Chain A
Amino acid sequence: MNTIEELLAANREAIVQDWYHHILDTYPAETAKLWKKGGDPFANPVAVRSRQGAEAVVRYLTMAEDPKALEAVLDFLDEMIRVRAVQNFTPSQAAGFIFLLKKAIREKLWHDLKRLDIWEQFAAMESRIDGLALASLDLYAKCREKLHEIKYNDLERSQVQLLKRAKLIVGIGEGESA
């Protein structure tokens, strides 16, 4: 095992588990305890999405960079961020859970990194994680934009008909020309 990817792959399950727990620890203690039990994806969707997302991201990092793989991993991140974007978190808390992966990796691999002296590779790996963090910020912003779009559409759905019916506004008739 000479590369950081190999090191990560060898410790993948443990790192996923640690990161997943760190993510659930961003919720109140009682909830974290309950949700860590996992279970049915329809009864415990936050935990299941977090778990699947964590697995996808770590698996992605064990492989060399590839735009297609990145796209797939962003879909997983979207699943997680879509949830966190409407969960009373600050933006940094909602999108910043990705940095907790650095914590999980460092805690697990620090001694091996020292032994193998692969700090350059480690810096590159962390840069990839930083890239994912930035992408997470974009995803978060998109979710919040969506939230406001939904508010606007709800308002429109409930009001526009009323204005039309009250003859306060009229549309252009079919085939009508200026």
Chain B
Amino acid sequence: MRADIRMAWTLTRGSGRGEGWRIALTALGAVAATGFALAAVAVAAVRGQVSIPFAHGLLNQPGERAGVVLTLVLLLVPVLGFLGQCARIGAVHRHHRMAAMRLTGATPAQVRRIAAVEAAFPSLPGSLAGCALFAVLLAAAGHTPPPLAWAGFAVVVLAVPVAAALVGVLALRRVVASPLDEVRRVGPERGPRAAFGFLAAGALISAVGMLLIGPTSLRAAAFPVLVVALVFLTGTGVIWAAGASAAYLGRRLTRRARQPAVLIAAGRLAHDPWAAARTHAALLLVTVVGVAFVGVRAVMLEILHDSGTLPDDLAFYTTGIDLAGTAVLVALAISLCGLAVGTAESLATRRRGLAAQAAAGVPRTVLARAAILETALPLAPALLLAGIGGTAVCVAYARIAGTGVPLTPLLVPPAVYAACLLAAATSLPLLRRAAHPAELRFT
């Protein structure tokens, strides 16, 4: 094991700038994951009715605290998506390296251990830093959690790198099976499994969140549980729709395309229709939540206004709703970062081919348009469906509450779409470098 760790360390140290990005971004993701998890544990550890001078007393009651804990735990889902994107950085390169090691005689177990250490390595300092940051915040707030909570903190700090290691091993399972890495690309890289695997992991996280709230408050929170289940169900449908529509669009457009950029993007879609679903799974899920939230918020505010709640209590409720809204925005931001990382990674992986295209006279604007279209084409139908799913949730809620159906949720999908295109566009400066003729010199 010591030898494997040393090997992983040597490999990490000797790798290029892409690996630096992977380490930095993974560490950042680990900080966020640790932060959210520690906060959830800390809030969950508070017992009974207390008085916490924060957010109009949102944390005073066990019932509301359960909601906060659930929100914090659910925030781990987009973070997971982001970490998944980070793990893809330099994946092709690492695949080749591992295959070379298998060819020179490394056993599958050795390769698996090295991959695990390599994946866990950047997240350990990340989770430690997140823990330190959180401890400072606790000290600043003057709050001392009970001993049980400290045990929970330790579990979280260790669980984050372990989870990263597991993901790393899973990603390399094909190389471990065969030392001859696939040099030729014939079929699509991977099917929808990764996307649905992500959903399953998200559902698992939510289940853990429910357990953290405790069975008693869970019964009280039957409605949120129903909403979470509905969101995951819709998410599954949306992700499936993303893959299916990408396959359809890809096939149709490769036949019909007139613009070179559309042809290139469509060719990539048809070749690996599930790529978009994998990259955007977290984003689509967040969009469903976002649409539903905007609708539910409008309905709740209407109820509050109609029932003539006292201004003080009104502030309490709106603070809660606004905090939940902030959580949705944070989740959206994290997912957009994941999307940007995914687009950049896709360009970096193909840089030699892009350089050859540019050398052959394909204008960079065409390559850039193709890169954006690759994000834009499959996202349009998927976001449409996400919008419909989210609207269904808030229509159902409005029916139950007996209020009018709000129209504001309809604005969410176009806004998310625009944000996605902007996020994808952030990788375009990288295209300039990737398509540089200097890349032709290194084979």
Q: Do A and B bind each other?
A: no
